[in-house]
Copies of this chain bind each other. A is one copy, B any other.
Amino acid sequence: MLEFCPGAYFALGAHMGDNDWRVVLTDLDAQVVERLDVPIPAPTPAANLEALVQGVAEIRQRVPARQLLPAIGLGTRGLVDIRSGVIQSAHEVGWLDVPFRQMVEEALELPALVVNRGKLGALAEVRHRAAEGVTDLVYLSLGAGIGCGIVHDGALYVGANSSAGELAHSTVAPDGPLCPCGNYGCLQALAAGPAIANRARAQLRHGEPSVLRARAGNHPEHITAQDVVAAADEGDALAGRVIGETAGYLGIAIANLVNILNPQRVVLAGPIGLASRLLLERVQQETAQRAMAYPLSAVRITRSALGLDGGAIGAAALVLQQAIDLIFR
């Protein structure tokens, strides 16, 4: 008699964060059994590779080699061509045509599966929420950039050349600031971490009291988006306004998604999306202000229950899926 034993094999997945890799081992049930973070010394492909190799070498030692599925799943920044594993572009760090899969396969001597990190976050959510019957979901990762993934009928929405889900460059202010992508008023330019920090720095110039002032001193560059969301959640009025304005832009983009995709769930994740209860509430309000009532009635907007593991779990899930495909094909 065959019995399902989740701990019989382990899958290796890694998520490229803005500043570090999260590397995980999951069991066959996509539950994390080991995790570690490795700092990325510089925003270059070579430095990312180096940090990944180090992290993989370390985490591999924690389980017997014969129990490790022989592949690695990777969630990276940028527009990734899933077939070739080439990162076509990642504007925020200036990458173009980076053959990341090939680089990883040569360095690790393991087959690699490379997918945009936002997509893998979305995949992880439905994997872990399948019991609740959620099959249509949009995942938004808010950090230094904005990642997004769409799951429809339980499967990743990939699109014609595997770039579906590029919400970061949705126009939410037609005459807004010029974005490195060449468009004006992109969501990422108005609602990601740098925009939140800049907005707080500008507000501080008006002289209003704020807990952020002590941190700013003569160097307002010290203020980070994390400082702002923390201050807002503690009731700081200035920080609260900054979060409110940020939520206004997010609400436009999310309401458009609710109207167009009619999902059951919108999940906020990433270091900023996970950090703030106030941001979630304001995003819920702003979305309700703009989305049509009927699709709005079908959707819940929540924070991810997977924390910062989401992308890495989704990456490991690619390996699990491939193993299942190989066994049952």
Contacts and interface: CB of A to CB of B under 8 A. Distances in A.
Q: By CB atoms of chain B within 10 A, which of A148, A165, A263, A294 has the most?
A: A294
A139 to B, nearest CB: 13
A161 B256 contact: no
A124 interface: no
Nearest to A263: B160
B262 A161 contact: yes
Contact of A164 (B162, B172, B255, B261): B261
Nearest to A175: B173
B160 A264 contact: yes
A260 B260 contact: yes
Interface stretch (A204-212, A215-223, A231-239, A295-303): A295-303
A171 B252 contact: yes
Contacts of A248: 174
A299 to B, nearest CB: 7
A29 interface: no
Contacts of A184: 290
B294 A261 contact: no
**Interface bracket on A:** 35 or more
Contact of A255 (B171, B173, B291, B298): B171
A152 B161 contact: no
A289 B89 CA distance: 18
A88 B255 contact: no
Contact of A172 (B152, B162, B174, B297): B174
B262 A294 contact: no
A166 interface: yes
Contacts of A67: none
A226 interface: no
A183 interface: yes
Contacts of A260: 148, 150, 164-167, 170, 257, 260
